[in-house]
Chain A
Amino acid sequence: MKLHEYQAKALLAQYGVVIPRGQLVRSVDEAGQAAETFSGACVLKAQVYAGGRGKAGGVARVESVEQARQIADRLLHRRLVTVQTDEAGLPVTSLLVEELVPVARELYLSLTLDRSAGRYCLIASAEGGMDIEQTARLTPERVRRLTIDPLVGLRAFHARGIARFFNLEGDLGDATVSLILALYRCFLEKDASLLEINPLVVTADNRLMAMDAKVSIDDSALFRQHDLAGLKDDSQYDPLEVRAARSDIAYIKMDGRIGCLVNGAGLAMATLDMLTECGGQPANFLDVGGGADQDKVREAFRILLEDPSVDGILVNIFGGIMRCDLIAESLIAAAAATGSHIPIVVRMAGARRDEGRRILEEQTDLNIVWQDGLASAANAIVKLLAPST
């Protein structure tokens, strides 16, 4: 789960990290008032779940209250498209208005998971404000990476090494050490999966400040991070994704017209691949999960049937824990409830497949086509939806 910049900064501030003075605003008037407190000179930053905002026009420096109002009017309630979003972009419902801070140096710090090492790592770079992967590629000597032994932890001597790497001494060196230790504590205590400060700046008056902050929380740990779980901003997701999440269905909206309902994440990905190979375009990824009950399966079907961009559905179920006959019953119940008659191609294998098939073939109201094979099922739905010539 991602946090907005303002949420990430508030979290870091709890751990003693210095952040710019700022205010979250949701309207042009509020933006104007916030700008007034900075005598007009401030930065407006669109709050969306994506990076690359600066180049996309989502971050603007202004010199007057009037200008702040103009920029706020341009940004608020629009969608911001950045290199990290899709073409539709993300809605801007709030702006962070911050003081202008004269900067002497820009640095980079992050904590994240190194999957292959199975450990957390600290990444530091003397090139702040840049994309870290680019820096690592172009000037690897400017990047230091420290893998953390979880039994030892991130220690003051590690942090001192990073301060030296930054060439920060005296009070600033001490501040760097405190900052790094605080970040590690925050990272662990909040079950973060990413904590990035880019840029971390040395201000003209010699303070260490987090100018931007990006924090993601491990979804699997939200059961013990109740405060953070409540920060989730549903506006940043497709409404169907929000609805699916409520029923604990793994669902991702895509661009095509063919809805997909599959059990199991790997099989669901494979089904999308198969469909694409057959010339179809999936409308979504949907994994109902292994132990789904009938309510959940019915809701999954309804999400597809009620999606106006879905012209037809491909169902691929491998029955194990999940029985094919129960899936068939849920499908019929959901279709009856929505009154939908779009074509549905069903492919099932495994537990109680024949019973499932019989249930589907006995009904006559729905436009359901049975297929035995994965490839033939994908081909069938593509053909059914092909414009007739």
Chain B
Amino acid sequence: MAILIDRHSRIVVQGLTGSSGRRHGLLCRDYGSQIVAGVTPGKGGTHLDGIPVFDTVAEAVETCHADVSMIFVPPPGAAEAILEASEAGIRLAVCITEGVPVRDMVLVNRALANSSMRLIGPNCPGLITPGQCKVGIMPGDIHQPGSIGVVSRSGTLTYEAVKQLSDAGLGQSTCVGIGGDPIIGTSFIDVLSLFNDDPDTKGVFLIGEIGGTAEEQAAAWIRQHLRKPVAAYIAGMTAPPGKRMGHAGAIISGGSGRAADKIAALRDSGVQIAESPASMALAMQKAFKAAGLSSHDS
């Protein structure tokens, strides 16, 4: 089951012939994902390592029945690539591109309000349903099939969490990197809601960071709706205010976006907080224990 992607997902890579698109398109295929097509305007009719390349997403959908798009188009064209995927009838677009202008994303998110397509990202590592399908740039081998849903604003910090979970025998249903930008297509709450309804997900690990109030909103939602054990880690306790910590969205501004406030909100909602990045799996195990469940039933 898992959420959003599985072994049946048919993936088109927008920007397949660029260096990142090629590299990760092929790595995803090696993992077992069905990479059915690529799109690069002007390169239609060619092939890349056996993958047909089209000029438009619409052709990739029509000819190869792609339903998921992984986007590596550089920032100047990324917004247009997302909109093209939406109009072509793609169900799920995953935009890996870092550095998409905010103005473009404001317009994209408004346009997608009238679309049936879900966007994940931009500026994200993508998502993976271990053992079935990888649509992203994460190292596949650290993941184990299982029943922990992972949702995160970060990339390598998620890998760290996943490795800890796998080492502790806690496999994952699906891991979703929602992205580190201020405006993103899919929120924590969107993913939490999918995990809540997924029978294969028994517990959730959330990774947040400074900037914005998405974690506080997630905390409120968790308190009201989530029926599964949740643990979380929030990065940036020691981040200085007013400085952008690598991610475009990771900034404490005007007293808002502080890690301490996010941690307090999550804790108030019954979320087990990992006090240190070295104890993320431990926090997940504690969350199961507190709920009277064994993490190994998962």
Contacts and interface: CB of A to CB of B under 8 A. Distances in A.
B246 to A, nearest CB: 3
A21 interface: no
B210 A223 contact: no
B142 interface: yes
B246 A250 contact: yes
Interface stretch (B36-44, B158-166, B289-297): B158-166
Contacts of B219: none
Interface stretch (A73-81, A114-122, A300-308, A336-344): A114-122
A319 B163 CA distance: 12
A231 interface: no
Interface string A268-291: 111111101100001001010011
Contacts of A22: none
B127 to A, nearest CB: 15
Contacts of B142: 350
Interface string A79-115: 0000010100000000000000000000000000101
A274 B105 CA distance: 33
Which bucket holds chain B's interface residue count? 35 or more
Nearest to B154: A266
A109 to B, nearest CB: 17
Nearest to B239: A269
Interface in B88-141: 99-103, 105-107, 109-111, 137-139
Contacts of A149: 110
A138 interface: no
Q: A252, A267, A373 — which one has the most chain B CB atoms within 10 A of its CB? A: A267
Contact of B101 (A115, A218, A277, A351): A218
Main secondary structure of the interface of A (DSSP, over half): mixed
Given A287-B246, A374-B278, A273 B238 contact: yes
A229 to B, nearest CB: 13
Given A151-B110, A264-B157, A219 B76 contact: no
A266 B156 contact: yes
A48 B246 CA distance: 23
A269 B156 contact: no
B238 to A, nearest CB: 5
Interface of B: 20, 75-76, 99-103, 105-107, 109-111, 137-139, 142, 152-160, 163, 180, 182-183, 207, 209-210, 212-214, 217, 233, 235-240, 242-250, 254-255, 275-278
Given A133-B254, A220-B248, A268-B245, 9 more contacts: A84-B242, A113-B106, A221-B101, A266-B247, A266-B250, A267-B159, A285-B239, A285-B245, A319-B139
